[in-house]
Structure 1
């Protein structure tokens, strides 16, 4: 298969899907002033090439679970196999290889009443060290700007779905069947979802609308930043003075290079992912933006070598 490249229309289609990942292609086409088939063909090409896919997840708030940020120091020759094994686990939500293959980072979900299941990882002969810290809170309420800068303000207004009401709902048996299917393909058609979960299309349509309206279900479009022209990604672990934690997190979340910010337990109380054009841009980000944050006591960086899993079935 030929290498995938993105043109201006591809970027607009992806931006539209970031606004509403289940928007009908006809609605996207109208906003972009192109044919329906053109939009469907563009996304179909990217999905078939593995360059983009829509996934879904549910926050740990709604599953009654907690999230653990797990750091594994591993033998470099074992990192790819170990990462793939972690990605297959239903309790992992994010798996990435770091520091040239000497580390693996993952988010692992566990019951609030029990510790994370780390014993089997600690016994693995290719894992040299295991560290786990609670991910206390996600602190970024916007998407990374590198994925969402292709549309005009009018196009964004035409495509943005109505705001949810935030009403809490209780997950049920249908959700436990539906959510793993949506995690695999967040744009799966209603007939396909009905076939996979064994419920009627009308019931699935109503439930999906409820999940989205309540902000229980979160849809996302996975795109490799390298395709967007960003070749340097880095995991940042920051130790911030407690009195400056909230202000530092807000400033960090506002940086255009920032793709994620979270508060954690442990000696580093903030974690972030920075995505930059190249190594020179990453250096400038670390020295200028991060260096100017008030309250930073210590910074540890780990280049992201590859992503093995970004989202996972939640139940």
Structure 2
């Protein structure tokens, strides 16, 4: 399908505020509310783009782990599909020739994800190894969305779209918010009337609660997008070993690159993890050699090309 400049502008507006009203987006873009609504609904119905409500794991006392599963070639796809069906996984992808699975899983702070995971995976000896890497600090990814997919609006337009929730809320008890958060995971742009129907609460209560959750940072809105529609056809996961004294500086340098959709300091032999999204293999080569390769203090780099994506955001399955 075609993805023109207006589609990109709508995408950028939703990147700034996933729940921005269509009339506000239209006013900022200089078009009609009906045009914006029509563009969004077309992209959503075609399965290209969704706005999803996500929660910040750290603020909920959870830990995010990046898992690497090495499988025999005939078992990787069935295991990846099983992982994609789990509610606690995201970004389930086949990498490295289709024998390795990469995914993100959330677990309560003290729990070991490997034990939780292996109890529910298909009983097969073809999972050769599983390693879990704790995401200690993210610089891009999660609440800090991939800015490389946007880049259309001006600074003044972005400022007009930024939501204002009033004074920041330091602590919010989310007890009783399960149905509300589940509804927002299904559709981050669900109306307050739809959220009220899903939760049994009144519209004013739902409105106030959503704003409180967003103001506290517990709830954020993410764009679930097929990057291929934007012309990005080469993805890779990078495992980097960086000297500790330069680790934060290297992570910040990675985060500034438009191709980097995830940059996080992690545990394990490689202490810096990144995901890059490029237009083609030539652009991937340039990214690795001209930008990533020039970052100081990188001692080792492992590149795992992404072969297939089975799941992006928490509830968005690409293929089953």
**Same fold per superposition (TM over 0.5):** yes
Offset at residue 154 of structure 1 (A) = 2.6
Map residues 289-304 of structure 1 onto 2, 5 A cutoff: 289-304=291-306
Q: CA RMSD in A?
A: 1.9
2:108 aligned partner: 111
Query: Which of 88, 92, 95 is the equivalent residue of 2:89?
Result: 92
Higher mean C-alpha displacement, 285-294 vs 5-14: 285-294
Higher mean C-alpha displacement, 257-266 vs 283-292: 283-292
2:31 corresponds to 1:31: no
2:144 corresponds to 1:146: no
Cα deviation code 1:55-99 (max 9, x no counterpart): 111111222111111111123343333223212212223322222
User: SS at 1:76's partner residue?
Assistant: coil
Which whole-Å CA distance do the structure 2 matches of 1:271 and 1:137 have between them?
10
2:318 aligned partner: none
Map residues 267-306 of structure 1 onto 2, 5 A cutoff: 267-306=269-308
Offset at residue 124 of structure 1 (A) = 3.0
Map residues 237-256 of structure 1 onto 2, 5 A cutoff: 237-256=239-258
Higher mean C-alpha displacement, 286-295 vs 229-238: 286-295
Offset at residue 187 of structure 1 (A) = 0.6
Q: Judge conservation of contact 1:165–1:214 (CA < 8 Å) in 2.
A: no
- Relative to 1, partners in 2 of residues 1:168 and 1:123: Cα closer, same or farther, differing over 3 Å? farther
Higher mean C-alpha displacement, 111-120 vs 57-66: 111-120
Q: Judge conservation of contact 1:165–1:215 (CA < 8 Å) in 2.
A: no
Offset at residue 209 of structure 1 (A) = 0.6
Q: Judge conservation of contact 2:165–2:211 (CA < 8 Å) in 1.
A: no
Offset at residue 164 of structure 1 (A) = 6.8
1:207 aligned partner: 209
Q: Judge conservation of contact 2:13–2:25 (CA < 8 Å) in 1.
A: yes
* Structure 1 gap ranges (5+): none
Cα deviation code 1:145-198 (max 9, x no counterpart): 332111123322221223775433233333211111111111111222122222
Work out the number of aligned pairs and report it.
310
Offset at residue 226 of structure 1 (A) = 1.2
Cα deviation code 1:262-293 (max 9, x no counterpart): 11111000000111121011111112212211
1:193 aligned partner: 195
* Structure 2 gap ranges (5+): 316-320
1:228 aligned partner: 230
